[in-house]
Amino acid sequence: MASHHTVLIIGGGTAGIMTAAQLLKKDSSLDIAIIEPSDKHYYQPAFTLVGAGTYDFEKTIRFTKDLIPKKATWIKDFATEFNPESKTVSSKENGTISYDVLVVATGLVNDLDGIEGLREGLEKGVVCSNYVDSRKTWELLKAFKGGNAVFTQPTTPIKCGGAPQKAAYMAADYFRKKGLSDKTNIVFATPGSVIFGVKIIADALMQVIGNYNIHLKTFYAPIKIDVANKVVYFKEVSAGENKCVVNENNILKEKHTGNEIMEIPFDFLHLAPPQSSPKFVKESVLVNEAGWLDVDLNSLQHKKYATIFGLGDVAGLPTAKTGAAVRKQVPVVVDNILKVLKNKTADNKDYLGYSSCPLVVGYGKMILAEFNYKSEFTPDPKLKRMLVFSSNKPHWRLWMLKKYMLPYLYWNKMMKGENV
């Protein structure tokens, strides 16, 4: 079975639905189809709050059928292969589908086999991850009685790079409220060299880390989990540069076993899994060397195929993979698609790498990191209307933004194609 659509979008997540909705607002006559296999759509930014017991998981869910724009066609199927030379996409159930313009917005996938023992640990309830099941994180948090609470992340790019440390801050505040701080050693281990890539935000977060007495381990990349003995192994990813040392009294019972391998026993382990583009994307001709969609940093047009655009988590862009980034990417992609359909050049290069990370640092407290490709702090002037004049510092109004305002804007504005 073959079919054709003027604009074919692969992926019915944030980027795919927003792109379709905004295109139809510009031109309601456009023939747009979205390939998306899932019945449910999740508001993923709330998973950190679910994992801390302060948000209802059921409120993160909507049905895909209720979000697909009414004038768009939903193809409930899996895309399986790109054929850019013939301007077609192969699908699992619907055969070959051709297009005039293709939008790749597949998102990314968790690689639960990317770290030895991770899948087993998750299945046995020894390890938790807000990226996999935030409800389980909350269960394990409530069951924790003290010991080593370890939070870490992989060397791969991940969705919302700040999320693993948010989990640590929320847990630290929870332990404090439950009187467990004196019995607990909180560790945040990151393969990175700093806690955050924007200095003004990093400075604020170092104060948070100090206030919670968190043990920060930089250049620590998780490589293995011994599920039976509850030990996580790390490799020093920048040998000779690591300024972190084993605590003098070694309250963590950390061991160095040679070849830059460190092991830390844990009583609680939260881990962001390695992530990548979906297999059919990664194995296609559309990706860069790292396996992400090879698009122009500013126009989001594919570097080789002019009728293909990519945005959202699958795009190979040196900025954080967040819904906030998508919010700024979509208008640029929409403008360029309309130009290409009129045989004009996709010359809108207005996307400058904007992204943001709502860094919850405790119950009722949040820092809002907004930045661009240059890692410059770029706070939204609209925050002053909320009486927030220093969004690089913890504020209760930013917490209200995270918990109440952003979900409302997502479901009622962004998903309906409105610029916010």
- Domain residue ranges in the chain: 2-108+277-350, 113-271
Mean pLDDT of the chain: 94
B/e letters for 161-198, b = 16+ CB within 10 Å, e = fewer, are bbbbbbbbbbbbbbbbeeebbeebbbbbbbbbeebbbb
Q: pLDDT tens digits, residue range 8-53?
A: 999 999 999 999 999 999 999 999 999 999 999 999 999 999 999 9
239: pLDDT strictly greater than 70: no
Per-residue confidence (pLDDT) for residue 252, from 0 to 100: 80
Q: How confident is the model at residue 240 (pLDDT cuts 50, 70, 90)?
A: very low
- Per cent of the chain over pLDDT 70 is 97
Q: Which residues are catalytic?
A: 160, 357
Q: Give CA–CA dist 396/320, Å, rounded.
A: 24
Residue 286 vs residues 4, 84, 88: alpha-carbon distances, Å: 21, 8, 13
Distance (Å, rounded) from C-alpha 155 to C-alpha 272?
A: 10
Give residue 346's pLDDT band: very low, low, confident or very high (50, 70, 90): very high
- Report pLDDT for 160: 87
List Cβ<8 Å contacts ≥24 apart for 57-65.
Answer: 57/134, 57/135, 59/407, 62/411, 63/39, 64/12, 64/36, 64/38, 64/39, 64/40, 65/39
- Asked if residue 126 has pLDDT above 90, the reply is yes
pLDDT in tens, 263-297: 999 999 999 999 999 999 999 999 999 999 999 99
The mean per-residue pLDDT over the stretch 134-141 comes to: 98
* Residue 135 CB contacts under 8 Å (≥ 6 apart), including other chains: 50, 51, 57
Nearest to 152 by CA among 105, 126, 191: 191
Handedness of CA 63, 44, 224, 235 (dihedral sign): positive
- Strands ordered across the beta sheet of 255-256: 220-226, 231-236, 261-265, 255-256
pLDDT > 90 fraction of the chain, expressed in percent and rounded: 90
pLDDT band at 246 (very low <50, low <70, confident <90, very high): very low
Q: Provide the pLDDT for residue 2.
A: 62
Query: Is the CATH number 3.30.200.20 carried by domain 2-108+277-350?
Result: no
Same fold, 2-108+277-350 and 113-271: yes
- Mean of pLDDT values over 133-161: 95
Q: Which residues pair with 61 in a beta bridge?
A: 42
Task: Let me know: does 196 contact 368? Beta carbons within 8 Å.
Answer: no
Residue 64 has a pLDDT of 98
For residue 179, is pLDDT > 50? yes
Range name among 34-43, 229-238, 288-297, 302-311 with the lowest pLDDT average: 229-238
Residue 215, classed as helix, strand or coil, is strand
Residue 249: predicted pLDDT: 57
CATH 3.40.50.300 fits 113-271, yes or no: no
